[in-house]
């Protein structure tokens, strides 16, 4: 929550609301929005705007029985209940095997500009949080992996097994790579495949692999420095 809302989030209060909402046996949604006041106005009606304030456990259970989401701000103050989420359907978004609640949350989130966290409570009490953010890592850790890949790509001869072991590791961290690091990774792959091509030869007369094509590394638009842990 702090990664989305920063120091303005009352994490303990928001978790209390999420856990209490999980006691609702019909399922519900808790929408935490940085601009909850404006969203309450924009989505009314059918959303029912209320005077912002904290929700007692009993009140939360009562309003969660109303069809629609509960809209709160990062401090845990409720601004609206019975909120019907809008948003355009996008191919590949959500999960066709999940219900309307899950998919409408994804549609709404896609247009929230990163200012929103949605807690989805299924009928069995299971909690899903979206967005499901990648884990945080140290910048120095990512730097170390890319450095190893670049270094191995300069080998004469190239140790293919060792190189691709570390390149596979780098691929698992591609979300955290800067544009410059993506370029370094792509150049390393090209260098290794150039070496493969120049040194390829057949030992049995049946042909040989001269070059392997790889997906290009590209920076992720959703990445920012909040995904790095302090050093």
Percentage of the chain surpassing pLDDT 70?
Answer: 87
The CATH number of the domain covering residues in 2-130? 3.40.1700.10
Q: Are 118 and 129 in contact, with CB atoms under 8 Å apart? A: yes
Give the SS3 label for residue 76. Answer: coil
Give CA 126 to chain center in angstroms: 19
Q: What does the domain layout of the chain look like in residue ranges?
A: 2-130, 137-229
- At 139 the pLDDT is 95
Intra-chain end-to-end CA distance of the chain, in Å: 21
- At 180 the pLDDT is 96
- Of these ranges, 42-56, 73-87, 152-166, the one predicted with the greatest mean pLDDT is 152-166
User: Strand pairing of 48-53 and 69-72?
Assistant: unpaired
**Whole-Å CA distances, 29 to 38, 83, 100, 147, 207:** 18, 9, 11, 44, 59
The residues, any chain, with a CB within 8 Å of residue 231's CB and separated by 6 or more, are 138, 139, 140
- Of these ranges, 62-76, 90-104, 155-169, the one predicted with the greatest mean pLDDT is 155-169
Distance CA 92, CA 69 (A): 23
Compute the average pLDDT of residues 205-209. Answer: 59
Q: Residues 119, 120, 125, CA angle at the centre, nearest 5°?
A: 115
Compute the average pLDDT of residues 123-138. Answer: 80
Residue 91 banded pLDDT, cuts 50, 70, 90: very low
Is the entire prediction scored with pTM above 0.75?
no
99-121 burial, b if ≥16 CB within 10 A, otherwise e?
eebbbbbbbbbbebeeebbbbbb
- Give me 188's structure tokens: 């390393």
């Amino acid at each position: 929550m702090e990664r989305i809302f920063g120091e303005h989030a009352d994490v303990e209060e928001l978790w209390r609301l999420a856990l209490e909402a999980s006691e609702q046996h019909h399922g519900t949604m808790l929408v935490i929005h940085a601009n909850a006041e404006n969203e309450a106005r924009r989505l009314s009606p059918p959303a029912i705007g209320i005077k912002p304030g904290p929700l007692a456990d009993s009140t939360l259970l009562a309003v969660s029985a109303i069809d629609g989401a509960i809209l709160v701000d990062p401090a845990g103050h409720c601004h609206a209940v019975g909120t019907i989420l809008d948003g355009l359907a996008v191919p590949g978004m959500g999960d066709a095997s999940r219900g309307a609640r899950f998919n409408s949350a994804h549609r709404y989130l896609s247009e929230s500009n990163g200012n929103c966290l949605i807690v989805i409570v299924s009928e069995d009490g299971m909690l899903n949080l979206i967005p499901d953010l990648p884990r945080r890592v140290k910048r120095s850790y990512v730097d170390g992996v890319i450095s190893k890949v670049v270094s191995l790509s300069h080998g004469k001869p190239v140790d293919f097994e060792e190189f691709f072991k570390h390149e596979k590791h780098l691929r698992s961290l591609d979300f955290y790579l800067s544009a410059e690091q993506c370029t370094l990774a792509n150049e390393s792959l090209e260098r290794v495949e150039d070496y493969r091509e120049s040194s390829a030869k057949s030992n049995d007369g049946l042909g040989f692999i001269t070059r392997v094509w790889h997906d290009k590394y590209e920076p992720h638009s959703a990445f920012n420095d909040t995904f790095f842990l302090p050093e």
